[in-house]
């Protein structure tokens, strides 16, 4: 029983919090689960994450940015995601290829056909079974970051983040069966409940029925 679940959304939407909550719930129930994130999740990925999020990297081109994210993803898929799925684990990933489509495609303006090709190569064709989209207007999400040190992406102007927001909604419209749209302004526990409803359905479809 393998299951690949990803969490997506703009800055400050709370996706990382929800990814951790789902991971803890599955582990408590005795379901083999691994939580990872992008960019990161491997030694190489951690180094690339620091580089990509550094505000001192202002001179990087959009295409170089795209390929650095792809390099991190190749390593994560080959070393963590693919082996985990092959052994029947639930893999939860905080951001995946959809982030690249919206940030480097819609946000940076790279041709989407190029982004899609790079994504396909970097993921070895692996796609999530379910993607949670925590939806929140860009200005509200960024306001949650006011008291924190902003990284290179959070520091972008509001127009960039609004484009990201629109990009996610366009992706969801293309594959509505894969996505679960969640109002990120709701109470954290409410969101957790909605996520669990959908995840427990997927587990049931794989022969695991839980009352939790």
Tell if the pTM clears 0.75, that is, is over it.
yes
3-state secondary structure of 114: helix
In a domain, 8, yes or no: yes
Task: Give domain status of residue 211, yes or no.
Answer: no
Domain around 133: 3-205
Q: Is residue 212 part of a domain?
A: no
| Contacts of residue 33, Cβ cutoff 8 Å, sequence gap at least 6 | 23, 26, 27, 89, 90, 91, 92
Tell which wins on pLDDT, 148 or 2.
Answer: 2
Q: Could you identify the residue written with the tokens 């796609």?
A: 127
Q: Total structural domains in the chain?
A: 1
* Mean per-residue pLDDT of the chain: 92
Domain membership flag for residue 41: yes
pLDDT computed for residue 148 by the predictor: 63
Pairwise pLDDT comparison (52 vs 139), residue with the higher score: 52
At 13-47, the pLDDT tens digits run: 899 999 999 999 999 999 999 999 999 999 999 99
- The CATH number covering residue 89 comes to 3.40.50.300
104 within some domain: yes
Residue range 84-118, pLDDT digits in tens: 999 999 999 999 999 999 999 999 999 999 999 99
How far is the C-alpha of 154 from the C-alpha of 151, rounded, in Å?
5
Whether the predicted pLDDT of 145 surpasses 70: no
């Amino acid at each position: 029983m393998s299951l690949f679940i990803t969490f997506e959304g703009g800055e400050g939407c709370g996706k990382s919090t929800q990814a951790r909550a789902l991971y803890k719930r599955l582990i408590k129930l005795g379901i083999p689960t691994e939580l990872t994130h992008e960019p990161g999740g491997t030694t190489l990925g951690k180094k690339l994450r620091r580089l990509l999020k550094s505000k001192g990297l202002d001179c990087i081109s959009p295409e170089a940015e795209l390929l650095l994210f792809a390099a991190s993803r190749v390593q994560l898929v080959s070393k963590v995601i693919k082996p985990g799925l092959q052994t029947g684990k639930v893999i939860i990933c905080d951001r995946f290829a959809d982030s690249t489509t919206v940030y480097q495609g819609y946000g940076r303006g790279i041709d989407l056909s190029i982004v899609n090709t790079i994504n396909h190569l970097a993921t070895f064709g692996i796609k999530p079974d379910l993607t949670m989209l925590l939806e929140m207007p860009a200005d509200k999400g960024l306001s949650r970051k006011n008291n924190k040190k902003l990284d290179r992406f959070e520091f972008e102007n509001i127009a960039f983040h609004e484009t990201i927001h629109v990009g996610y909604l366009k992706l969801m419209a293309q594959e509505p069966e894969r996505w679960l749209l969640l109002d990120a302004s709701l109470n954290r526990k409410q969101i957790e409940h909605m996520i669990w409803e959908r995840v427990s359905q997927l587990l049931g479809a794989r022969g695991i029925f839980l009352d939790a």
